[in-house]
Copies of this chain bind each other. A is one copy, B any other.
Amino acid sequence: MTRPQTLKESTPDGGVRDIRPGEIAITLPAEADASVYFIGRIRTPWKTRKEAPKNAREARETGAVCTIEVDPRWEKALSGVESCSHLFVLYWMDQARRDLVFQTPAHYSSGRGTFALRSPARPNPIALSVVRLLKVEGAKLQVVALDCLDGTPLLDIKPYFASTDSIPDAQVGWHADEKARKSG
């Protein structure tokens, strides 16, 4: 079931993403179960993975304004969005490999399972970011900030409800351990 593979796959900047030592890939199911539409594109200042922020926190710190271009077909679906201070943005990491179950990110001390990471490499490469909404103009939204590459396909926009979506005291134990190691 967890047969290691050595497949290569192109990465967002056109390179290849090998499996690193310790990583584990599985054989993907023969068939998919459902389909998604790309409903727009995300415009960011970042053309390559190298120049892009490493994560959502870094993206926010840049203060960069990104533009979400919604396909005109869906423009009417934005009615009411202008009253939201923050939004969930779901987008498709279309260049990520989907067969990794265990990953060894270069900046961490040890490997972890895909579902304990926010890595784009996952069975369904759906990325999720919380953004601050600046402005809605027609079918374009200006937001701060996203860490994806320019041209990334958009999947969904949802209102962010503090009452159910905000958990200020949430903990990611393994990440706290990594931080303690770096500062200790």
CB of A116 closer than 8 Å to a CB of B: yes
Q: In the complex, what distance in Å separates the CA atom of A167 from the CA atom of B45?
A: 24
Number of copies: 2
Q: Is the CB of B166 within 8 A of A167?
A: yes
- Would A164 and B56 be within 8 Å (CB), given that A34-B36, A158-B118 are in contact? yes
Give chain B residues whose Cβ lies under 8 Å from the Cβ of A2. Answer: 76
Residue A7, interface by CB 8 Å = no
- Given A76-B101, A76-B102, A115-B158, does the pair A85, B39 have CB atoms closer than 8 Å? no
Knowing A113-B81, A122-B156, the reply to whether A165 touches B174 (Cβ < 8 A) is no
Check B60–A164 contact: CB distance below 8 A. yes
What are the residues of chain B within 8 A of A26 when measuring CB–CB? 73-74, 76
Q: Is the CB of B85 within 8 A of A130?
A: no
Task: Collect the chain B residues with CB atoms within 8 Å of residue A79's CB.
Answer: 102, 111-113, 116
- Please name all residues of chain B whose beta carbon is closer than 8 Å to the beta carbon of A170 when the two chains form the complex: 84-86, 160-162, 165-166
Interface of A with B (CB < 8 Å)?
1-2, 24, 26, 28-29, 32-39, 55-57, 60, 70, 72-81, 83-86, 88, 90, 92, 94, 98, 101-102, 111-118, 122-124, 126, 128-130, 153, 155-175, 177
New contact pairs (10) apart from A32-B35, A39-B123, CB-CB < 8 Å:
A36-B124, A57-B163, A77-B114, A85-B170, A85-B173, A115-B158, A123-B156, A159-B172, A165-B170, A166-B167
